[in-house]
Structure 1
Amino acid sequence: MSIFFKALFTALLILTLFVIDPLGIRVSAEKHYEDHILRLLSPFFSDTVSDEVTVILLDEAFLEQTNTFPVSYTNLARLLKVINQHSPDAVFFDILQHHEHSERLGRWLKALDRAKSPVFMASDPEYDTPARLSHSDSLRQKIAAVSSLAAVSWSGEKHYYPMQVESQGRSTPSVAHAMYETYCDKPSIICEHNDAPTNLTSSMIVQWSNTFDPRQNRYLYVGESCLHQPDSAIGSMFDTLWSLLTQGLRSEQELDDRLRKQCPPLLTLSATSLFAPGASKSPELKEALEGKMVLVGYHLGGGLDTVLSPVHGKLPGVFNHAMALENLILKGGEYWHVPENIGVYNLSIADIIEISIQITVLFTVIWYRYSHLESGQAHSNPISGIWPVLLIGGLILASVLLSHLSLDLGVANWYALPLILMLDLPIFLYFLLESLKKRLQTINQRALRNSRVRLRLAKRKVKQKHTIIFKEAK
């Protein structure tokens, strides 16, 4: 009975710390290990980069060429005009325009209104209140009248990517969700009923790929890292795993060089290429933009609009929307969902399953310790430490399969489960190893005794032979 109460007390303590998390350890640990798993599984995200998404960067070279920051309305209109001449399926500008900052605003609004393809403009739902969007003199009202607003900022989602952003009593689709809806409207695309944009509500764990478009250096030279695709998926995963396991033996620069992919995960262009002579009739630009979902965003040194990719490190913020869209295009409704809270201490179904397994493991460990190790039963049955390992391993495997195949929660939510097995494995196998060691000692002692017996017999035979020889000699 005392064993039961000790286990119960420890389980309640673990549950309390897991739920309350006063130091924020669980949240930070989840993010840390989630990044590791996303990095390890990046080779399996897709064999190749999809040919549906293109990113255009308003980089330093473009700002030096146009000599304006923020990009003027005249240049924005010219940029959109060139993009439209290559017939994209949709265009998104990751630029928050809250106040008029240059001349010829009318030209920019006219370009938005005349665009042949849907144009989405960045929106902060907390700033774009119903009152501001209905005020005739508001710049936000003027932009909303000639384009569609898509949310680029939100709160309460941690590092995850929502499908809808609720604010001011209104629901605004995120960029990836809004553009995926346009993608599903293409005549050549069939989005299944359960993958339809209206059915996508759960936030996303954005997966990143370690592959890149083989045409990348033709459009924007990034370096030799864009010349050779990674090795096989298994080889890339084990190479990353080895780098993580030996990170304490490497310098930060060496570790960064081994882990961080330099080549962007999607085909990326500089906006300077759209201002080059003949850009409106360029066959290369037509190949990169025609029928594509085009996302335009800033890329400035020391810029604030950045995203930390577990595979690529710091990237321009527009890549967060682009990769979320890529996840929807490749996986539809089977993207990795963030498990929703069920209303009990802000716990999700993933938390409850994880807590259940942790408590099960805890009781198993304590029971095994007191009923086998303390009583010495493990010596008489050396394989008694194997079945608890099989039990826990089976529970972990079942949990991962359930979350990944049925609930679409993804392996990233289950980072702690393999660690549970790794930490408890020595406990269950300790006396098995001890028993094997004693058996080896017994075998060695038996072999030594046999050797001594054989030696005594040999000596006896030699002595008898000498006696016989001595008698014959007399």
Structure 2
Amino acid sequence: MLRLSRISMHQWLFGLSLALIALLDPIGLASSTDDASARWLNRLLASGYADAGQRQVVVVLIDDSYLLRNDTYWPLPYNEQSKLFKRLLAYRPGAVFIDLLYSHDHSRTVPGQAPRMESQVLANVFERYRQQGIPLMLANSGLERGSEGAVNVLPRLAQVSTPALVSWSGYGSQYPLAVPTPLGVLETPALQLYREYCRRHTCASLPADAMAAAQRPPMTVQWGVHQSPLQAQVSDIGACTVPGLVDQLMQAVFWKLGNNAQSNCPYNLTLSASDLEVTDPDDQALIRQLLQGKLVLVGAHISGTGDVTLSPLHGKIPGVYLHAMALDNLIDWGMDYYRATPSLAELGIPFTGSVDVLDLIELALLGVITLLKGTLEAPLFSVTGNGQRARMRLEPLGAWVVVLVLLSGLSVGLWLNNYTPANFLGLLLLSLTLFSARIQALFENRAPNHSEFSTQGTQR
């Protein structure tokens, strides 16, 4: 007769311990492996990332070479900014986001001029081109002016621009579309620029307003790795490298061995602010072709400044690229961008905290791992009859392969539905650790024993 063997109490306790660790996340272990799994999958899929957004998004960087070329300093004086943005806006971009902070007026005193006139001149430049139909967004912290940590736009600049939220908390490494703030619900730069894109292109349904956008799940930004084909027309890309898939996977797993597997040039088409100063008609025509009608994000790459973001494919890069890549994701996928699975609370199940659907699926996988581990210590099924007892055992390698297949199937299913992956690395390493002793014993039992030999002579 076939019957299910009883699982011992220590196996039940072991499974319960795994479940508590997965749900309560002590010392952030589960969260760390979750993030590592997401980075690992991004590396795996980056080579096939679509280029629809890449053709619409341009990053303009104010860098050290621009400061040296113009014999100026940082923060860039307002009169220099006025020249820079007049050059940029004259190329008629579709919309512009400026990832610079204007919280304190540092206008210089000029004899014969009214106080703080330099910032007013910059505001006049913004207003002139806004009236010509070029939307302009300026970075904002969303805090009341004068409060601690507030980094808001100067009032005279705020009157001629739209605030774009660049500071938030409680979202981990994810990118929200909009966030409630003391100033009201503010949208982030990616969504604001995407709205401008959708004015000229056919898009799926957008959130009706900022409040509706705040109800949408935050985005798990996916990064591309291959440069724009147009980049070679404006800069030397001879030193740019794109590591192979194997190198990137090894870097994702053994990240402490160095960053040789990181791409050293950004995915988004990037211009230096110096490129806007060209005077040759052919060069100006090229810059116009690259900027006209495009979604432009202006940021800074100045030595000693701390505005950086961490890309799983490029390492530390200027923070403006996070907004550029989030915008790129929206152009590629619309509102079906990559995101975490919904939480149980969002599905109307009370008292579940931040537990989401994927947590329950991973708990089920942990149960399978615990059950398989039990079959290696005691048989899952017993066959009895006529006083004889036979046992059916699952081989250790077979058990691990079962886990690998289940994890792979789950990750592929989530990816096809634009959800963040399961904690692939955490569950895989956990299962390998649990089965390692049995796998090692299996190979030791199969290996020939060369240490035993006969000391007796040959029998005749």
- TM-score, normalization by structure 2: 0.79
Matched, 1:55 2:59: yes
Letter of the 1:118 counterpart: P
- 1:123 aligns with 140
Compute the displacement of 1:169 (Å): 6.5
- 2:359 aligns with 351
Shift of the 418–16 alpha-carbon distance from structure 1 to 2, 3 Å rule, reads closer
Q: What whole-Å deviation, never above 9, does each CA across 1:201-241 have from its counterpart, x for those lacking one?
A: 21111111110023324323354226xxx58xxxx322323
Letter of the 1:416 counterpart: G
- 1:315 aligns with 317
Rg (Cα) greater in structure: 1
Asked if 1 retains the 8 angstrom alpha-carbon contact of 2:37 and 2:421, the reply is no
Letter of the 1:329 counterpart: I
Which SS does the other structure have where 1:78 is aligned? helix
Bigger helix share: 1
Matched, 1:72 2:90: no
Which SS does the other structure have where 1:282 is aligned? helix
- 2:379 aligns with 371
Matched, 1:83 2:88: yes
Compute the displacement of 1:404 (Å): 2.2
Over aligned residue pairs, what C-alpha RMSD do you find? 3.7
Asked if 1 retains the 8 angstrom alpha-carbon contact of 2:144 and 2:182, the reply is no
Shift of the 41–16 alpha-carbon distance from structure 1 to 2, 3 Å rule, reads same
- 2:348 aligns with none
Distance across 1 between alignment mates of 2:253 and 2:74: 44
**What is the count of residue pairs matched by the alignment?**
418
Letter of the 2:136 counterpart: V
Moved more, 189-198 or 395-404: 189-198
Distance across 1 between alignment mates of 2:87 and 2:296: 12
Q: What whole-Å deviation, never above 9, does each CA across 1:231-263 have from its counterpart, x for those lacking one?
A: 8xxxx3223234556778xxx5xx423x12112
Compute the displacement of 1:433 (Å): 6.3
Asked if 2 retains the 8 angstrom alpha-carbon contact of 1:180 and 1:329, the reply is yes
Asked if 2 retains the 8 angstrom alpha-carbon contact of 1:49 and 1:212, the reply is no
- Equivalent positions of 1:140-179 (< 5 A) are 140-168=154-182, 170-179=184-193
Q: Structure 2: 5+ residue runs without aligned partners?
A: 108-116, 346-351, 450-459
Compute the displacement of 1:44 (Å): 2.2
Which SS does the other structure have where 1:261 is aligned? coil
Letter of the 2:357 counterpart: I
Distance across 1 between alignment mates of 2:31 and 2:153: 39
Moved more, 279-288 or 238-247: 238-247
Matched, 1:111 2:121: no
Compute the displacement of 1:280 (Å): 11
Letter of the 2:166 counterpart: V
Matched, 1:193 2:201: no
Compute the displacement of 1:165 (Å): 1.6
Q: Structure 1: 5+ residue runs without aligned partners?
A: 442-458, 460-474
Moved more, 141-150 or 377-386: 377-386
Q: Which residue among 220, 224, 238 is the counterpart of 2:235?
A: 220
Matched, 1:329 2:343: no
Compute the displacement of 1:5 (Å): 2.6
Compute the displacement of 1:425 (Å): 6.0
Shift of the 287–363 alpha-carbon distance from structure 1 to 2, 3 Å rule, reads same
Shift of the 393–69 alpha-carbon distance from structure 1 to 2, 3 Å rule, reads closer
Compute the displacement of 1:373 (Å): 11
Asked if 1 retains the 8 angstrom alpha-carbon contact of 2:120 and 2:156, the reply is no
Letter of the 2:181 counterpart: S
Matched, 1:395 2:409: no
